[in-house]
Structure 1
Amino acid sequence: MAEAPAKISLATSKTSLKSSVLHYVEDNGRRYHALSAGKYFLPNDELELERLDLEHNLFLLTLDNKLCLSPKSEGAKRVLDVGTGTGIWAIDYADRYPDSEVIGVDLSPVAPVWVPNNCTFEVDDVEKEWVWSKPFEFIFSRMLGGSFADTQAFIKKSYDHLEPGGYLEMIDMALPVSSDDGTLTEDNFLHKMSVMTVEAAKNLGRPIHLAPHYKEMFEEAGFEDVTFKKFKWPSNIWPKDPKYKEMGRWNFANIDPGLEGLTLFLFTHGLKMSKEETLAYCAGARKEIRDVKIHAYWPL
């Protein structure tokens, strides 16, 4: 598969990338996007980008090496990856299906320099008017809970930009963190922090708890034959089942070093906690993540 330098544009103006988009925001020692600053609560620094790439591999393990679950998982003609981040999903799809046209869009221009010829990246805010005039066959979004002020509006906008018979797939966490055997209680840091995450996102006007309602929201937007599936990511290697144990190994590597990035913006802005208070919660949660006697999991 031939590769070429990444074609990255500021979609809202269709001009070359504006320098203002690169003037990232520093907050509590982490780096965040500049375009529509404050809309997305996760950092875009190297530590977070490494976590996102690791998380992509966790998804591949979860989905048995599939990139998605939609019938368009193989070779859709025109694909939009919303919140593409490092671009790893879009690049993987473009590599696997060279006849597909894949567009990744994000608030941050953090995609790699070299990409497949059939993959392009655009910097844009999808809560604003969409600039794509040609419809898509498949629109994909992953882990964007807490990114939208109006998730229903995003789903409807996606519906309106799909060709007849097209598909939208959304994958998100369904907080709070849980356990099926009572080893994680409401007094545990992990549970408390996940509940606080939901509260903080709600306070910021960007709900993060809507995944369990996606089926009804899709149907309200006009989608038919909506499929809803559930998954679990164990907190560590506590499961006996080999696949879940391996998923736990990867999720531990995903969450353990990422706790601060996952919570600092939300807790300090959405709950008005200090950085020190947030880090103390992270320390408590980290001990529980490492405890194989606590059979916690993140629901998806």
Structure 2
Amino acid sequence: MASLPAEAHTLLQPVAGEELLPASGLAQEEPIVADNDDDGDSAIDAPFRESLASLRSSILAYQEENGRTYHALSAGKYFLPNDEAEIERLDLQHHVMRLTIEGNYCLCPKNDGAKRVLDMGTGTGIWAMEYSDAHPDAEVIGVDLSPLQPEFVPPNCSFEIDDLEKQWTWNRPFDFIFCRMMAGSFSDNKSIVQKAFNHLEPGGYFEAQDMRLPLECDDGTLREDSDLWIWMSLVMEAMENLGRPVVAAQQWKPFMEEVGFEGVVEVNYKWPINRWPRDRKYKELGTWSLANMDQALESSTLAPLTRGLGWSREEVLVLISKARKVLRDTKVHAYWPMCIVYGRKPMTASIDENLGQFDVVNSPTSLPPSPLLPTSQDYEPIVLPTSSSTHQAGVYPSTARELSPMTEVPLSPTDAILSLPTYSRLRFTSALTEPYESRP
């Protein structure tokens, strides 16, 4: 090996009167020799590998309960299973949501142009992977309690297994944080919104997409003594008992405004429970919605009612069977209210220099009461956006579009839906469905 030049030895000598510390004493260290005979299986790194194997096995050691499997990390806090049936349902739900906003990934301006994206509660990772494919310049991170994501993913997409209610450890800010269908996932929704705010760069966006319970009906065909209404009320009561009320959709907007987001916008949609609407657009959406919720009845009920109300599995299955009959009944003209809320972190806001070390979170906020047996008078009708060239906080649409089983509504009903690229047109078409003309 060639020796160091003389000037290098001079540079490496300690200054007179100064002790040469071991960490900097390169002049006195012997060269580090590589062990070419090492097969990578030495006893030195065995404990490290064993700890990784133990961690992996503990995460994969799913909890079995009522014939379904649930996450192992922070076991017991999340109510939906993570088995194959639920994986298929989650991908179906993703399809329904993208139909709702006509193939877009979100409503906020980060549908395009994001550089660093966090997908909270990524589930199967389908949203994160599709967003990564569509935006190859973006770095997309999906995080979830369960490792449900596939092994082969786009090069700009990665997944992490973590508990979002615990310390967020990302030390670089995001410019887009996305959250979908997380109602009932958190005990304190405001703290989650605060964490998202802290981990966004100035000008970054947070968007939440959620179902707003309870079910709604505009013509009284969903009765409060029906099995579907009883099912929904019991699930809401059980989640209250478990300390995770399913009221996130009602809370996203006020909490986002409270923690400092600006230009907060809320947009509402309707998912018919089945094919009851005459309008072709809503009939297609109702078909997909039924396929999704027909499976979700069991996955969203078993854990809440057995954990929160002390029911047996058999009792829950009987309730689900009764509720499913109403869900499929086209004489019941009910719909699931869907809510999308987004806002921007002000450009004047600063980035927390301690990002990844601790989060500045406001003290827990008491949750507003969620009625278990609400009446139709408690809720205002959902309306669709009216025509506007820009999104403005506090400006809401004034033209309502009722779902009616008797009247036909054109496929492209309003100038607003045709002219707003962010809201998108509600043309619910899909290559996976038959042409409208061939349907009964």
Shift of 1:210: 3.1
SS in structure 1 opposite 2:122?
A: coil
Residue number among 199, 224, 237 corresponding to 1:199 in the alignment: 237
Aligned residue identity for 1:72 = K
Ranges in structure 1 where 5+ consecutive residues have no aligned partner:
1-12
Shift of 1:213: 2.7
The yes-or-no answer on 1:113 pairing with 2:151 is yes
The yes-or-no answer on 1:239 pairing with 2:277 is yes
Alignment partner, residue 334 of structure 2:
296
Moved more, 191-200 or 107-116: 191-200
Alignment partner, residue 175 of structure 1:
213
Residue number among 149, 160, 180 corresponding to 2:187 in the alignment: 149
| 8 Å contact from structure 2 (residues 182, 248) kept in 1 | no
Alignment partner, residue 22 of structure 1:
60
Counterpart-to-counterpart distance in 1, 2:270 and 2:109: 22
TM-score, normalised to structure 1's length?
0.93
Percent identity reads: 57
Larger radius of gyration: 2
Residues 53-79 of structure 1: CA deviation (Å, up to 9, x unaligned): 001000111011111111111130000
Shift of 1:231: 1.1
Shift of 1:258: 2.7
| 8 Å contact from structure 1 (residues 177, 190) kept in 2 | no
Shift of 1:15: 9.7
Q: How large is the RMSD of aligned CA atoms in angstroms?
A: 1.5
Alignment partner, residue 317 of structure 2:
279
Ranges in structure 2 where 5+ consecutive residues have no aligned partner:
1-50, 339-440
| 8 Å contact from structure 1 (residues 137, 165) kept in 2 | yes
Residue number among 245, 248, 262 corresponding to 1:224 in the alignment: 262
Aligned residue identity for 1:216 = P
Alignment partner, residue 18 of structure 2:
none
Residue number among 224, 228, 253 corresponding to 1:215 in the alignment: 253
Counterpart-to-counterpart distance in 2, 1:285 and 1:46: 23
Aligned residue identity for 2:237 = E
SS in structure 2 opposite 1:225?
A: strand
After superposition, where does 1:66-77 map in structure 2 within 5 Å? Answer: 66-77=104-115
Alignment partner, residue 80 of structure 1:
118
Counterpart-to-counterpart distance in 2, 1:45 and 1:126: 21
Shift of 1:240: 1.3
Aligned residue identity for 2:124 = T
| 8 Å contact from structure 1 (residues 178, 191) kept in 2 | no
Which runs of at least 4 in structure 1 moved beyond 3 Å after TM superposition?
13-17
Alignment partner, residue 51 of structure 1:
89
Residue number among 60, 65, 73 corresponding to 2:103 in the alignment: 65
Aligned residue identity for 1:180 = D
| Count of residues in Structure 1 that have an aligned counterpart in Structure 2 | 288
SS in structure 1 opposite 2:102?
A: coil
Shift of 1:297: 0.9
